[in-house]
Amino acid sequence: MLKLFISPGACAMASHLALEEAGADPELQVINLRAGEQRTPEFLAINPAGATPALQTDQGVLTQNGAILAWAAQTWPEKNLAPTDAFGLARFHAFNGWLASSLHPALGKVLFSHPALEGSARDEAVTVALSKLQLAEDAYLEGPWVFGDTWTVADGYLMVFTRWSRQAGLLDTDRFPKLNAHLDAVQARPATLAMLKAQGLTIV
């Protein structure tokens, strides 16, 4: 039995979508980040880092989107969720690592700083975030999917951040045509629609 701890609309969408693509049908447990439920003793016993996603499996708990995506790909190899050759798999991990360590914190600083950034501090953070999006547009999105013609769950991970960017008015269609087209394509997938419905979300 799989149990996935999520916060609707947060980065755990990537893990949720990967499990939907795999046909895993996990039980969902919503953690209200704004209410501080990630800091309760009950949740800290599951993930001491106090963050989602967290995935309870028969073997124990997995955390971090990159790890859960890799686990899903290896657990359901017939679903072709990730490259299987050594070089392709290394590129898959590199891209997911970049999303987690570079794009996510850059956008997070703009969108989720407490207190909210203002003035020149916000302008500087937006400039950095846009530069990361530009890197994805120009160098990392081979098209139509991240790795060219083959869908992987890395595409679902990228979708998290392009959704946030579009919702925040940062994903200009003229500046980022490839990222906008990619977001639309990911959101049209049946597994994505199922994930969004389960989280009470809609296409953006």
Strands, sheet with 27-30, edge to edge from the N-terminal-most edge strand: 27-30, 3-6, 54-57, 60-63
54 bridge partner residues: 5, 63
d(CA 62, CA 18): 14
Give per-residue pLDDT as tens, 145-198. Answer: 999 999 999 999 999 999 999 999 999 999 999 999 999 999 999 999 999 999
Count CB-CB contacts under 10 A for residue 100: 16
Please tell me the predicted confidence (pLDDT) of residue 189: 98
CATH number attached to the domain at 3-79+191-198: 3.40.30.10
Please tell me the predicted confidence (pLDDT) of residue 1: 84
Helix count (H) and strand count (E) of the chain? 9, 4
Please tell me the predicted confidence (pLDDT) of residue 175: 98
Cα 24 from chain centre: 18
d(CA 137, CA 2): 35
Please tell me the predicted confidence (pLDDT) of residue 29: 98
Structure tokens belonging to residue 172: 């200009």
Give per-residue pLDDT as tens, 73-131. Answer: 999 999 999 999 999 999 999 999 999 999 999 999 999 999 999 999 999 999 999 99
- Amino acid in position 77: P
Q: Is 132 helix (H, G, I), strand (E, B) or coil?
A: helix
Give per-residue pLDDT as tens, 13-46. Answer: 999 999 999 999 999 999 999 999 999 999 999 9
Looking at domain 86-189, its CATH class is mainly alpha
Instruction: Give me the residue spans of the domains in the chain.
Output: 3-79+191-198, 86-189
